[in-house]
Structure formats: structure tokens, C-alpha cells
Structure 1
Amino acid sequence: MNLHWLQHVPFEGLGTIEQWAADNGAEITCTRLYAGDALPDLNSFDRLVVMGGPMGIHDHGEHPWLVEEKRFIKQAIDANKTVVGICLGAQLMADALGAEVYPGPHKEIGWFPIQRSNGAPSLIPEALTVFHWHGDTFEIPEGAVRLAGSEPGINQGFVYGDRAVGLQFHMETTPNTMEALIQNCGHELTDAPYIQSATQMRAGIEHIGTVNAAMNNLLDALP
């Protein structure tokens, strides 16, 4: 297996996905879009993971590589690659598939529950407390199935075909990746209904084992 991933900022890595890939004997390669790396040939990988980042999918002026990246994601999906997008990655997938991406009714930052949607494939548990760090959300692309939602009424994921999954939330979170977000994006921790303090987020570390196991199960279930 060849797993390629797209990185948007140096402080958002693969988290527990890296260990899953190593355990499955995968060769891991990366495009650091923020550093100007070139995107790979589609034939060079089997799985594509599109990670998160603090930018928005429409920030083409500041991050012109977003245009080519979205085109590349669509090409990977059309080529029947297994594609997993996380947070910004899911938003980029939604946009590439023609769905609208826009600011959600509330920012969600911290540990909050999600619920699997009725009729959705059992790629995730029916209910799970997961780590969030996002302000934007997306409509479900045409032809996709809504995977999950959350209390603020936000779409939390979708499944397109049998190989493409967009997750608005983070199941790959480790103590280190959570701390990196707190250190680099802490200015977003304002007083709001669905924004936890850094102290509250650190207290939620008890959920990491459960969400990491769910992430592994999802990756195992994809072809």
C-alpha cells in the first residue's frame, strides 16, 4: 500500500494515521503544499489523506495552491483512489465534488459528541465524542451519503461511493497534535457555546483511545 497525504501547515500531521499506516506496511509520502511541493502522479499511490489547516477553501489569494489541490482531489476520487479528508480536507473534498462550503452556525472547538446519521454506513460508532477545530462546514455532495451530524446542526461527514470519506472532525488526534493546535491556533479560543478552553480540551484526553480506535476501524473498512 502506498499512502500519500497532503499537508497544509507544518503543525498538522497525520496523528494516529501514521501509526496505522506503519502497522499495515504502507509506504508514506507527503506533499507539503505550504512549502511549494509538487503534487504526485496519481499512479504513485493507492490512498490519499487530506489533512486540516486553519485556512479556508476559498482563500486562493493567500494560498493559490488550493486551486490545483482541489482539482487533484477530484482526479483522485474519479480515479477510484481511497480518499479520506479530515476537517479542511473534508471541506476541500466537498468543494471538489460540487457542494457548498460556508461558515457554520457555530465554531466547534474541543471535545463534543457526534451522532451517526440514519442509514449511514457503519464506518463510525453510532455515537462518539470527538475532537473538533473548525468554523466552516459543508453541504453533502450530490451522490454522497451524510455520515454524521452534531448538536449545532452541522454536517459532520459524508461518504461518496465506497472509497471517499470526508470527516469534519478529528479521530486521528493524539496528545501532541491537540497541543500543537492549542499552541498555534489558541487565538480562536473565545467565549462561545461550542468552544472549550485549553484546560477543558486537555481534560478530554480520556477520549483519545476511543477515537483512535474508531479511526483505525474506519481505515480498515475502506478498500
Structure 2
Amino acid sequence: MRIHVVADAADKDGGYVVERIVERGGEIVELDRDALTSFGELGGSELIVLLGSDKSAHDPKWERSVISETELVRSALRAGTPVMGICYGAQLLARALGGTSWRSDKAELGWGRVDTIDPVLCPEGPWGQMHTDVFAPGPTSRIIGTTWRGPQCIVDDSFGARSIAWQFHPEVTPETYERWVHAGYFGDIGVDTADLIRQARRNAIQSRLRARSLTDAALSYLGVA
């Protein structure tokens, strides 16, 4: 099972989600989102996974990278290869399917519950959050999870393959979350960073268990053996 994981060169940790994919027999091929080849040059893929990023998909500075990644997504779906997105990956997928994204007026941080209409593909959590952007899905996508900040999970089966994406971070480990906190991806907003790190550590065991179940459910929905 050949899985292509698209990520920033400096942050390629797929955490609990990629861990579970590997346990299920996945062979991981990492792709730098700033130096992508075409889908046809990948040599076959069972699944495309779009990880998070400190970039913003709507920022003109990253236009070239966003265009190449959205084209990879569209080509994959047209070829029958499913796509899974997380955080920035969800915003990218939404844009590839005709939606958009923009800067939120407030960062969404820490562990919180999600309002859901599908507790299998989008359990209520709590899930780790760290993002300053929000997205609106395209016309063919279905929102199955939300918070008061915006959509948290979308699914789509309008192309040649299915796709799913979460705005929250099912993959994140305490170590990665702490690194993000110290990197200040959310800006200088006076938040209690020590409390964010405590939340990550306190939720570590349950987060891993939830992520494993969610990954299994998503692979089943996407039709990945």
C-alpha cells in the first residue's frame, strides 16, 4: 500500500495518523509541498495525505505551492486515488474542490470538542487544535463536523475518488504540539502557552487511541485496503 504524504520539508511528522497507516501496511513516500512533481510522475499511489503547515493557503506568497498542490489533488481524484487532509491540508483540499479559505479573527487552540453529525468519520473528541485560518468547502463537499469557528470535517465523493479532511489535528503528538507552541505558529496573542502544553500531555493517551480509530474509519470510507 503506497501512500504519498505531502508536507513541509521542515515539518513532516504525520504523528498518530501516519503511524496507524504504517501499522496497516502502508509504505510512506514523503513529498515536499514546495517541490511537487505531477501526479503522473508518482508511479502509482493508494492514497494522498496532506499534512498541516504554518503556511496559509490564501497567502499570495505561497501561490505557486498552492497551485501545484491543488493540481496534484485534482489529478489524484480524477485518477481514482483518494485524498486525506489535515488542517492546512483541509484548507487546501477545500480550495481544490471549489471552496476557499481566509484568516480567522482569532486562533483556535488547545483541546476541544467538535459538533458532529457523523461520530465515525468525525468523532466529537476532544481534538487538538492549532490554526489561525478557516475554510469554506466547495459546492460538492459535505460538512460533517463544526465548531463555532467554522467547519472541522468535510467529505466529498463527487470526483473519481473520495476525499476527507479535518481542520483539527488527529495526528498530533504531545512532542509535536509542544514544538508548534514554542514556534509560535499562532502569533503573539498572549495565550497561556504552558497550559496548551499541559493539555497536549494530558490528552496524549486518549488522542492516540482516537486517532487510530479515526484513521481506520477514514481508510474504510476512502476505500483503502
Residue 179 of structure 1 corresponds to: 178
Q: TM-score, structure 2 length as denominator?
A: 0.85
Q: Distance in 2 between the 1:109 and 1:13 partners?
A: 19
User: Given the alignment of the two structures, is residue 210 of structure 1 paired with residue 200 of structure 2, yes or no?
Assistant: no
Q: CA offsets, 1:4-23, max 9 Å, x none?
A: 11012413521112321221
Residue 110 of structure 2 corresponds to: 110
Gaps of 5+ in 2: none
Q: Within 5 Å, which residues of 2 pair with 1:15-30? A: 15-30=15-30
Gaps of 5+ in 1: none
Contact kept? 2:97, 2:141, Cα under 8 Å: no
Contact kept? 2:95, 2:137, Cα under 8 Å: no
Q: Distance in 1 between the 2:126 and 2:133 partners?
A: 19
Question: Counterpart amino acid of 2:195?
Answer: Q
Q: Distance in 2 between the 1:67 and 1:186 partners?
A: 23
- Stretch deviating more after TM superposition (83-92 or 152-161): 152-161
Cα deviation for residue 65 of structure 1 reads: 2.1
Give secondary structure in 1 for the equivalent of 2:103.
Answer: strand
How many aligned positions are there? 214
Q: CA offsets, 1:70-121, max 9 Å, x none?
A: 11112212223221100100000000000121223431022222121x3x36
User: Given the alignment of the two structures, is residue 46 of structure 1 paired with residue 41 of structure 2, yes or no?
Assistant: no
Q: Distance in 2 between the 1:129 and 1:173 partners?
A: 12
Residue 10 of structure 2 corresponds to: 10
Q: Percent identity?
A: 23
Q: Structure 1's 82 and 211: CA in aligned 2 closer, same or farther, altered over 3 A?
A: farther
- Stretch deviating more after TM superposition (3-12 or 170-179): 3-12
Q: Distance in 1 between the 2:21 and 2:11 partners?
A: 19
Q: Distance in 2 between the 1:124 and 1:169 partners?
A: 10
Q: TM-score, structure 1 length as denominator?
A: 0.86
Cα deviation for residue 186 of structure 1 reads: 5.3
Question: Counterpart amino acid of 1:132?
Answer: Q
Contact kept? 1:145, 1:159, Cα under 8 Å: yes
Q: Structure 1's 62 and 153: CA in aligned 2 closer, same or farther, altered over 3 A?
A: closer
- Stretch deviating more after TM superposition (42-51 or 209-218): 209-218
Residue 144 of structure 1 corresponds to: 141
What is the RMSD computed on CA atoms of the aligned residues?
2.2
Question: Counterpart amino acid of 1:113?
Answer: R
- Stretch deviating more after TM superposition (38-47 or 63-72): 38-47
Residue 130 of structure 2 corresponds to: 133
Q: Distance in 2 between the 1:207 and 1:189 partners?
A: 24
